[in-house]
Amino acid sequence: MQARGGAVIDSNDAARSRAAVGRLGAILRAGGASVQSVKIPGTEAAVAIHLSGLPAELDVAAGRASNGRAKFVIGLGEQSIETALKPSSALSGAAAFGTASATLGQGFAPSAIVDFPTLLGLFEGVGLSEDPSVAPFVPYLRSLTTLSAGQRNLGNGIARLRIVVGLQSAG
């Protein structure tokens, strides 16, 4: 089983997202990474990046979601990019979203949800949990359950941010 995961950023400018793919690829290439252009279904620009010490391919792409909205996506492998652009269900329908909404409370809309056991499984799947730069943090990450972050607009361009972190119970 290949580890999958990714981050999706909504874009208001598809042309700038496509340009960002190329710029990020150039920056990483200058830093010593192996970067090559790839074709991934649903994308308008994409690069595959092989970073030293990371046993998985990192893909960066600009594309359009099922609803036609521009997206900028970073994922582990092409399948992660395709799934991020055309998910089988919306995050708002997931149990984790409902839990995050309830945890944040008072009208805060979740904008970030991290499930630490899943994140650690991903790290272990790609060999990062043993990496000297990550390994010291693993015991601390194991003590966490979730992170929920969201904002609530207060009007006049002001927003309140709330972050709630769940801890494993002692035992």
For 15-34, the pLDDT digits (tens) are 999 999 999 999 989 988 89
Would you state the structure tokens that stand for residue 80, as one six-digit string?
């992660």
Signed CA dihedral, 7, 93, 78, 44: sign only: negative
How high is the pLDDT of residue 13?
94
Could you count the other beta carbons within 10 Å of the beta carbon of residue 103? 18
pLDDT for residue 1 is more than 60: no
For residues 68-96, average pLDDT: 87
Q: Give 3's pLDDT tier (boundaries 50, 70, 90).
A: low
Question: Which pTM value belongs to this model?
Answer: 0.67
Q: Tell me: the pLDDT tens digits for 49-81? A: 987 766 678 899 999 988 889 999 998 889 889
Burial of 17 (0-12, 13-18, 19+ CB in 10 A): buried
* Farthest-apart Cα atoms in the chain, separation: 52
How high is the pLDDT of residue 124?
80
For residues 75-88, average pLDDT: 87
Q: How many residues does the chain have?
A: 171
User: Is there a contact between 112 and 149 (Cβ–Cβ < 8 Å)?
Assistant: yes
Q: Give 90's pLDDT tier (boundaries 50, 70, 90).
A: confident
Average pLDDT of every residue of the chain:
88
How high is the pLDDT of residue 171?
61
d(CA 149, CA 44): 30
For residues 124-129, average pLDDT: 76
> Which residue would you say has higher pLDDT here, 7 or 147?
147
How high is the pLDDT of residue 2?
59
d(CA 108, CA 91): 15
Would you state the structure tokens that stand for residue 9, as one six-digit string?
């950023």
Which SS3 state, helix, strand or coil, does residue 133 take? coil
Residues above pLDDT 70, as percent of the chain: 94
User: How far apart are the two ends of the chain, measured CA to CA in Å?
Assistant: 32
How high is the pLDDT of residue 145?
93
When computed from its CA atoms, the radius of gyration of the chain, rounded to whole angstroms, is 18
For residue 108, CA distances in Å to 8, 114, 137, 153 come to 20, 16, 29, 8
Which residue type does 53 have? G
